[in-house]
Each structure stands twice: as structure tokens, then as C-alpha cells.
Chain A
């Protein structure tokens, strides 16, 4: 669906109604699964340290949020996610712009970038923790390393996506290379960059947790390990829920910003690259 229609008058059409109906079905599906889960655990007499019931999970969640015991950990992990995301995305875009300037630079640098990307970040996380300690900085670096590549790849492809006629038009009217970059290439790359940002923000949540698993004294990942150690399965599931809410929230935030900025773009034309 064209995002542009949001800029003009927009009435709920058939498509929206169909979408709303699927939305309700999706909620219904969740309820069915939860009920089936609860029933299965009770009837099969599965011990709580193997699989907690949904009700136990919600109780643990309510307790954790109600007493405020999750809050400092949420704050720590959230900070790691945001800082890592901003650092990785910023670096990815900057290097993408640099590499996007010429095929020479791309041929020179891109093989190494791909080589770096093929190294599992989980595998280098222990080294990063040894180098940068148990605090915030090691998590930010691990998260940044994961968030970096989708933006690099999408920025490069995006900058190349400007139609030649558009560039010819600007050039014929005496535009400089910088003006062509500012007026055509960069805005043309934005839809691609936003796809990268959306992928990267979700990956950032994973990055922060991976970092905390390897070595941390606080944070939601640290909390998961602690609860796992104490066989508090309901608590582990509750934190997983919190994490997924953070992920979904950040994704929605990104989508909202994207629709504001890219009101002119046809979302169907944007292809996912990277990962």
C-alpha cells in the first residue's frame, strides 16, 4: 500500500477492513495457544521447572514489574540496546556513504566487511568482554557490531538506486556532485536505510542479551541467567516477554518514524538487503 495516501485524504478501505479482521484472528490464535498451553501443562502434570503455565508466567511478570525489581535491569539493557544501535547504525551509514562513493572503494573494502560479517558475533563476544570489561561498553560494542552490517549494506545499495535520469537532470541544470548527493542520492537511499534501521533495532536487542550472557552484573540477560540458575522458569519466561515487548515497541517506533519521513515512498518498492 502506498504510504503517500496517508498524506492525502485517507479513508478506511476494503484493505484496512481485511487487515483488521486478520488482526483479530491473530489475537484469537494467541488466546487459543495460551489456553491449550495452560491445559496441557495441567493435564500432563509437567513440572514447573520444565515448563511453567501461562498464568504462572503472568504472575511472575506482574510481580517483577509491580515490585519494581525488573526496572533497573530494564534500564540497563535498554541503554545498551539504544547506545549499541546508534553507534552501529551511525557507523554503518557513515561507512556505507564512504563506500557508496565509488566502485573502487567498494571493491577495496567490501570483501573485508563481508568477512567480518561472517564471523558470528557470539563467538567474539567473550573477547570483547575481556577487552572492555563487564560494564556497559562491552555490550554497546557487541550490539553495535551486530547492528552495523544491515545499515552498511542497505546504505550502499540505496545510494546506487538513484535513477540515472534524475542525476542527469540535476547535472544538466549545473548541480555539483555534492548537490546531486544531497538532492537525489541520499533521499533516494532513505527507504533502504530505514529497512536497515528496522532490521538493526531488532538485532540490537539480541546483541545486548548476548553481551550480557557472556559476562554482566546487571541487565535482563543477566537476570535470565540468574533465574535459570534458580530454576525459576516462570521468571525466565516473564523476562522473555519483557524483551519481546521492548523489541516490538522499538520496531513500532521505527515504523512510525519511517512513515513520517518516507511519506513519498511506495513501500512495495523497497527490498530488504543485508543480514
Chain B
């Protein structure tokens, strides 16, 4: 496999990069409503390099969203540690921007004012934040829509606003929880290409959760494959497809091999 051979060459260079997020021995257990003990995450260990694009893929119930919510600081962990740089993540952090599955825009605010939300919450310099918000909206092609209300936008446009909002306060990590899950297949492809462009231009470490294996491979430097009961990391796959990625790559044999090797983890359905 040519891609794997190339991996041997690329790997040492990659190792020189600085680690930004370190997850070690992370466990999450909780009691469900019917009083059953759920082992949501079991012994998760990950090192995420500064500036890299990491996707977490797995079937529902594998704990991928739980992991992301712990990283976002809106869910507590049972044990283990999550560090960003040298600081332990124990709650929401200004270093983090989050994009959720639904765009969760505030319908009474204009597009621009929605993007401004994190800067307002964090009491940043609003003038500078507004300039930055306008730049981001221009970057996603919504410069002419800053005075519109969310109700007037399409699903894809709303999620673009959601991405701008997650970036406005210049976080060092962008967390995305199935951000394009609610979009139709064609919009989703466009959004993937656009997301890679934003990632490159903003140079921001991105962790994206998805249940689509092709999406995970297409976007990532590194795919974290998770399996359920208990939620744990089954494999970490380095993706050595060239960048910038194009939709045409989806049809290459290399791409297909990555998808197939990840699919092996998820039983017989759709394997081979």
C-alpha cells in the first residue's frame, strides 16, 4: 500500500510537532435513568498535535459525543486527565470553540450578533471582535448576510454561522460534534471541503466527531476509531492522503482502503 509506505517517511516529521491536547486514562461512568451502570468511556489515551485535524468515528453509543463534551468542559469525567498544553481541563475553557450538531443560533439575533456571542460572553474587545466576526463571515461566504436573522438562512448557511461563532474568540481548539449530520448529502460534501479550507486558513487544531467513515477519512490527519460497550479507542489511523483534499479523492483506491480498514471494526454490516 503506497500510502502506508509514505507514512513511514512522514511519521518522524509529524512526531516533532507539539502536542496540544493530551488525554490520559480517561474514564466516564454514569448511572442511566433505569439505574443501570453505563461505562461510557474506558481508558481513553490520545495525544492531539497542535494544528492537526483529528476525527473521531464510531457507531452511536461508542461514547464519541461524550468524549467531545468532556473536552468542551460541559460534562465531568469520572477519572483520568485531559490537558490542554499544560493546563488541566476541568470546565469550559476560553481556548475552545464548539460547533454542535444543530447550529443552535439565537433566532432573535442577527447573523453578526450570533457570531459575536462568545466574545460578548468573554467580555472581549467588541470592536476587534466585530471586525474578526466580519472576516470570518466573509471567509464562509456570508458577508452579505450579517444583518439577516437565522430564520432566513438555509441549514448549510446556519451551520457556517455556527462555525464562525466557534472561531470568533480565537480559540486554540475547535470541537465539532457531528456538525453536518443534519444536512443533506450534497451540502455536506461542500461543507467538508469548506471546513478544510477554514481549518487551513485559520490554522486551528480541530477535533470532529462523526459517524460517517468516509467523512472521517476525508477530513482527517488522524482518525480515532471508537467501539461501544464500553466506549474505547479501537484504533488510531493516520491518514496520509495529500492535501489539499478534493472530492475526487473519495474515488481513489487509497481512500477506499482507509475506509475499508476502519469499517472492519464495526461488525459484518457493510464490511468488505
Contacts and interface: CB of A to CB of B under 8 A. Distances in A.
A175 B100 contact: no
B88 to A, nearest CB: 16
A95 interface: no
Contacts of B108: 187, 264
A256 interface: no
Contacts of A175: 92, 121
A172 B96 contact: yes
A172 B73 contact: yes
Contact of A172 (B72, B102, B120, B152): B72
What interface size band does chain A fall in? 20 to 34
Given A184-B106, A187-B106, A170 B98 contact: no
A165 B100 contact: yes
Interface string B89-128: 0001110111011101011100000000110111000000
A166 B102 CA distance: 9
A165 B94 contact: no
Q: Which of A2, A165, A173, A184 has the most CB atoms of chain B within a 10 A radius of its CB?
A: A173
A63 interface: no
A174 B92 contact: yes
Interface in B154-177: 169, 175
A1 to B, nearest CB: 13
B199 interface: no
B80 interface: no
B151 interface: yes
Contacts of B73: 172
A179 interface: yes
A7 B72 CA distance: 36
A61 to B, nearest CB: 43
Contacts of A165: 100-102, 104
B7 interface: no
A166 B104 contact: yes
Interface of B: 69, 72-74, 92-94, 96-98, 100-102, 104, 106-108, 117-118, 120-122, 149-152, 169, 175
19 contacts: A2-B151, A7-B149, A163-B104, A166-B106, A168-B100, A169-B104, A169-B117, A170-B121, A171-B74, A172-B96, A172-B98, A173-B92, A173-B98, A173-B118, A173-B122, A174-B94, A175-B121, A183-B106, A263-B149
Given A168-B100, A172-B96, A264-B107, 9 more contacts: A2-B151, A165-B102, A168-B74, A171-B92, A172-B74, A174-B93, A179-B121, A183-B106, A264-B108
